[in-house]
Amino acid sequence: MSMHTPKTMHAVIFHAPLDIRYETVEVPTPQAGELLVKVHHALTCGTDLKCYKRGHPVLLRALPSPFGHEFAGIVVSLGEGVTEWTLGDRVVSANSAPCYDCFYCEKKQYNLCEHLKLLNGAYAEYIIIPEKIARTNTHRLPDDLPFEIAAFTEPLAVAIRAVHGIGIQAGDNILVLGLGPIGQLIVKVATLLGANVTAVARTPMKLDMARSFGGAVQTISIAEGLNAHALVQDHSPQGRGWDAVIEAVGLPETWEKAVQLCRRGGKVHWFAGCAGGSTIALDTKRVHYDEITLYSLFHHTPSDVKQAFDLLASGQVDPRPLISANFALANVEEALKGMEAGRFFKASILCFP
């Protein structure tokens, strides 16, 4: 069953780092259990920018590859056997779904599912939602929820994992290093939980956003570089370091600094992945005798996605301040470059003119 769809569409295809092309490709036909969704809004993401610059170890497999993974749209065609979705449904999908059957899924480590295939192709007029994602990780938008807000479900799920995944509680003093879009959402989620957030970045635009959007109680500029000792002495509670430090930068240097910034008995969350092959040095005395708990969680699970969707649908999180630019689908590359230059946090890609 389907609404009228054309035979071809425009899509942005990833060929290699620094080589993405706006092309005309066939509109795919949904197979059994799949949905064809007309993409309404897609969002640029820090991960897409990383991919654009250096490729990605797990996100983009065979090249050339469809590209983009944050989107919301309208169901326009149903594969055989789909019963829980209807033509015209406004939906948002996560970019993966676990199989619920493998070794890791049986241990409820859904984000590590052996069959996790990451969905790409949001920078296109239409996208196929694979059967597993359609069944377990897609949500129907309430009528009053705009597409561009719903499209934040995936990045917000990631932020929820960064915060809830390490057991942050009300009253905790948290340090967030790095205030890109995910860093900003982490500040927001931690504040909603009742934590006191100190946010650290290099640029005033990021620090201002962490206060106005995220509710950070303290912001610190490290335009001059990050001196961990001075930061702890001058800005942490009683000069002891923070209860938890979340690294949202993705650089080995900041992974190392994060360990120096947390208090004795505290937690470090290395949340942003570094380039493949990166290594760091750790002071074992610090980790052991100061009893630092180290976390490094990856991706998200359907329960994180559901929580994120509910926060957006209920209006508890309105992420629109993070969108400060709109681009046509043909101009995704320009949007990514604008992000890289620090001109805005996220761009909204209008997939139809």
Cβ atoms of residues 307 and 193 within 8 Å = no
Which of these segments, 15-23, 91-99, 196-204, 251-259, binds Zn ion (CB under 5 A)?
91-99
- Under DSSP, the state recorded for 87 is T
The encoded tokens of residue 317 equal 């999180």
Residues 129 to 168 in contact with Zn ion, rule: CB under 5 A: 155
User: Does the footprint of Zn ion cover residue 47 (CB under 5 A)?
Assistant: yes
113 is a contact residue toward Zn ion (CB under 5 A):
yes
Contacts of 297 (CB under 8 A, 6+ apart): 111, 161, 162, 165, 166, 269, 271
Does 102 bind Zn ion (CB under 5 A)? Our answer is yes
Instruction: Please check whether residue 154 is in contact with residue 122, taking contact to mean a CB–CB distance below 8 angstroms.
Output: no
For Zn ion, which is the closer residue by CB, 113 or 259? 113
Residue pair 292/268 in contact (Cβ under 8 Å)? The answer is: yes
Q: Which residue has the tokens 């599912």?
A: 113
- Name the minimum Å distance from CB 237 to Zn ion: 32
> What's the min distance (Å) between Cβ of 105 and Zn ion?
3
Q: Does 45 bind Zn ion (CB under 5 A)?
A: yes
Stretch (H or E) spanning 313: helix 302-313
* Residue nearer to Zn ion on the CB measure, 9 or 51: 51
In angstroms, rounded to a whole number, what is the distance separating the alpha carbons of residues 48 and 56? 9
Decide: 148 and 137 in contact? Cβ < 8 Å.
no
| Residue 56 in tokens | 């990605």
105 touches Zn ion (CB under 5 A): yes
Judged by beta carbon, residue 108 or residue 288, the one nearer Zn ion is 108
Quote the CA–CA distance of 2 and 30 in Å, as a whole number: 10
In sign, the C-alpha dihedral spanning 223, 228, 233, 237 is: positive
Piece of 24-32, 63-71, 184-192, 199-207 that binds Zn ion (CB under 5 A)? 63-71
The residue (of 78 and 150) whose beta carbon lies closer to Zn ion is 150
Using rule CB under 5 A, residue 98 touches Zn ion: yes
Q: Binding mask 292-331 vs Zn ion (x if CB under 5 A, - otherwise)?
A: ----------------------------------------
Q: How far is the CB of 2 from Zn ion (least distance, A)?
A: 28
Give the nearer residue to Zn ion in terms of CB position, either 267 or 346: 346
> Which residues of this protein are in contact with Zn ion, per CB under 5 A?
45, 47, 70, 98-99, 102, 105, 113, 155
